[in-house]
């Protein structure tokens, strides 16, 4: 979902879909495991020097789902 980036200082993840998403850092995402982002706006902010791990996500619904990603180096 999002590649590792050693320069990343913050990361905002927001679930803009109708289905719960599950996140894992540096590992394969699995339904009902990891960090849960509830549907329709569930969000997470990491406001520190974010490690080089990739972010992976999965959902248990059908069709395409939307995860909004904002990240930066400042």
Does 47 map to a domain?
no
The total number of structural domains in the chain stands at 1
Structural domain that includes position 56: 1-40+52-60+67-74
C-alpha dihedral, 48 to 71 to 16 to 35, nearest 10°: -40
Q: What is the chain's alpha carbon radius of gyration, rounded to the nearest angstrom?
A: 12
Does 46 map to a domain?
no
pLDDT, residue 53, reads: 67
pLDDT, residue 21, reads: 87
pLDDT, residue 55, reads: 74
DSSP string, 6-40: TT--EEEEEE-SSS-EEEEESS---TTSSEEE-TT
pLDDT, residue 51, reads: 63
Give 19-69 pLDDT, tens digit per residue.
988 888 777 778 888 889 999 999 999 887 766 567 777 777 777 888 888
pLDDT, residue 11, reads: 85
pLDDT, residue 5, reads: 78
Sign, Cα dihedral of 47, 16, 54, 23 = positive
Does 27 map to a domain?
yes
């Amino acid at each position: 979902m999002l590649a590792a980036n050693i320069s990343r200082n913050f990361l905002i993840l927001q679930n803009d879909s109708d289905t719960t998403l599950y996140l894992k850092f540096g590992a394969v995402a699995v339904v009902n495991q990891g960090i849960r982002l509830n549907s329709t706006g569930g969000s997470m902010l990491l406001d520190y020097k974010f490690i080089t791990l990739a972010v992976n996500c999965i959902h248990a619904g059908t069709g395409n789902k939307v995860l909004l990603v904002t990240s930066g180096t400042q």
